[in-house]
Amino acid sequence: MRLVLGNATILQGEELEPTEGFLVIRDGLVEEVGEGKGPRGWVDLKRGIVSPTFTNAHVHLGDSVGQDYGAYMSIEKRVGIGGLKGRLLEEGRARVPAGMRESMRAMLRCGTGAFGDFREGGLEGVRLLHRAMDPRLEGVVLGRPDGSGVEELLAECDGIGLRTPRAYPRGEMERIVAAVKGRKKLLAVHAAEVRDDVDEALGLRPDFLVHLTNAWRESLEKVARAGVPVVLCPRANAMLGVGLPEIPRLLERTLVALGTDNVMVNSPNMLREAEFAFKLARGMGRDPTLDGRLILAAATINGRKVLGLRSNAIEEGNEASFIVFRRGRYLYDPVLAVIHRYDVGDIRCIVRGGDVSGGSLHV
Q: 76 and 49, same structural domain?
A: no
Q: 233 and 259, same structural domain?
A: yes
Residue 95 located in a structural domain: yes
Per-residue pLDDT 10s for the chain (363 aa) are 789 999 999 999 999 999 999 999 999 999 999 999 888 888 999 999 999 999 999 999 999 999 999 999 999 999 888 888 888 877 777 899 999 999 999 999 999 999 999 999 899 999 999 999 999 999 999 999 887 789 999 999 999 999 988 888 888 899 999 999 999 999 999 999 999 999 999 999 999 999 999 999 999 999 999 999 999 999 999 999 999 999 999 999 999 999 999 999 999 999 999 999 999 999 999 999 999 999 999 999 999 999 999 999 999 999 999 999 999 889 999 999 999 999 999 999 999 986 777 666 654
DSSP string, 316-337: TTSB-EEEEEPPPTT-S-HHHH
pLDDT at residue 165, as a whole number: 87
Task: Give the CATH number of the domain where residue 116 resides.
Answer: 3.20.20.140
Q: 199 and 87, same structural domain?
A: yes
Task: Give the CATH number of the domain where residue 323 resides.
Answer: 2.30.40.10
Q: 238 and 150, same structural domain?
A: yes
Residue 208 located in a structural domain: yes
pLDDT at residue 363, as a whole number: 45
Q: 118 and 89, same structural domain?
A: yes
Q: 32 and 123, same structural domain?
A: no
Q: 186 and 160, same structural domain?
A: yes
pLDDT at residue 167, as a whole number: 84
Residue 186 located in a structural domain: yes
Q: 213 and 300, same structural domain?
A: yes
Nearest to 223 by CA among 192, 244, 260, 178: 192
The rounded distance, in Å, linking the Cα atoms of 351 and 45 is 13
Residue 26 located in a structural domain: yes
| Rg (the chain; Cα; Å) | 20
Q: 261 and 344, same structural domain?
A: no
pLDDT at residue 124, as a whole number: 92
pLDDT at residue 38, as a whole number: 81
Name the residue range of residue 347's domain: 2-53+312-357
Total of domains in the chain:
2
Its sign, for the CA torsion 213, 271, 306, 229, is negative
pLDDT at residue 362, as a whole number: 55
End position of a domain, from candidates 288, 307, 326: 307
pLDDT at residue 283, as a whole number: 96
The helix-helix angle for 292-299 and 270-285 (nearest 10°) equals 140
The rounded distance, in Å, linking the Cα atoms of 6 and 45 is 6
- What are the two backbone dihedrals, phi and then psi, of residue 212, each rounded to the nearest 5 degrees? 55, 30
Residue 362 located in a structural domain: no
Q: 48 and 72, same structural domain?
A: no
Residue 363 located in a structural domain: no
**pTM reported for the whole predicted model:** 0.96
